[in-house]
A and B are shown apart, each in its own frame.
Chain A
Amino acid sequence: GEDVEQSLFLSVREGDSSVINCTYTDSSSTYLYWYKQEPGAGLQLLTYIFSNMDMKQDQRLTVLLNKKDKHLSLRIADTQTGDSAIYFCAARPYSSASKIIFGSGTRLSIRP
């Protein structure tokens, strides 16, 4: 089945760009998502990308997809303290349209 992996921690300076990386194993995954979770809150959908796209940009967020390497990244430009959160990468396997498989989450901390 699908397996999604992320590094656990990332620390960046305020104002710099953050890049959170994710790898997945199922090349048939059709949609890939990024969710943000602040402490004590639910998951907020930030953006998603369809598997036939290489890049998607939405304001400060840029998603890059390398389908050959099964690698997904989320770049946050001009990182602010409000960006501190856990970021989950998730993949939707073609074989199971009702399930999305989450990575373990990357905790982003911002230093002044």
Chain B
Amino acid sequence: DTEVTQTPKHLVMGMTNKKSLKCEQHMGHRAMYWYKQKAKKPPELMFVYSYEKLSINESVPSRFSPECPNSSLLNLHLHALQPEDSALYLCASSQGVAGNLQGEQFFGPGTRLTVL
């Protein structure tokens, strides 16, 4: 299985809602990532988990809260978002983050989030 899956595919939420995005991989990868992508822009890194521990937070606002329950799952909890948070949220995984690994990241199809 060489796939990263994400649910839901689309999400519309109000600014007072709480929702979660989910990501799953069964490739035995030990690093997982959340990216945010606005239209016509490259992905921007938000968080990196390595061996289920948060290793990088790119100064993301606290209304985004990541969670890694186990090595195959990654969640992104959303609360009190703003309309400017509307974007495609991409999950990715890689073998690990050690320097001697090729480090290629495999991406899921993304969740298209709209905040009203």
CB within 8 Å of B: which residues of A? 30-31, 33, 35, 40-45, 48, 50, 88, 92, 94, 97-100, 102-105
Instruction: For the complex formed, measure the closest distance between the CB of B20 and the CB atoms of chain A, giving whole angstroms.
Output: 19
- At the interface with chain A, which of B11-19, B68-76, B98-106? B98-106
Instruction: Please tell me which one of the listed residues A44, A88, A98, A103 contacts residue B31 in the complex, with CB atoms under 8 A apart.
Output: A98
Instruction: Please tell me which one of the listed residues B98, B103, B109 contacts residue A41 in the complex, with CB atoms under 8 A apart.
Output: B109
The answer to whether B105 and A45 have CB atoms under 8 Å apart is yes
Chain B contact-residue range equals 20 to 34
The answer to whether A99 and B102 have CB atoms under 8 Å apart is no
Contact status of A97 and B42, CB under 8 A, knowing A31-B104, A41-B110, A42-B109: no
Q: Note all chain A residues with C-beta closer than 8 A to B98.
A: 97
Bitwise, B20-61 to A at CB < 8 A (1) or not (0) is 000000000001000000001111010010100001100000
Q: List 30 A-B contacts (CB under 8 A).
A: A30-B99, A30-B103, A40-B112, A41-B109, A41-B110, A42-B4, A42-B6, A42-B107, A42-B108, A42-B109, A42-B110, A43-B107, A44-B107, A45-B104, A45-B105, A50-B102, A92-B103, A94-B99, A97-B97, A97-B98, A98-B55, A98-B56, A99-B48, A99-B56, A100-B105, A102-B43, A104-B41, A104-B42, A105-B40, A105-B42
- C-alpha gap A90/B91 in the complex (Å): 16
CB within 8 Å of A: which residues of B? 4, 6, 31, 40-43, 45, 48, 50, 55-56, 90, 92, 97-99, 101-110, 112
- C-alpha gap A87/B108 in the complex (Å): 16
- A-B contacts at CB below 8 angstroms, number: 56
The answer to whether A98 and B108 have CB atoms under 8 Å apart is no
- C-alpha gap A79/B55 in the complex (Å): 40
Q: Note all chain A residues with C-beta closer than 8 A to B41.
A: 104-105
With both beta carbons as reference points, the residue of chain A lying nearest to B110 in the complex is identified as A42
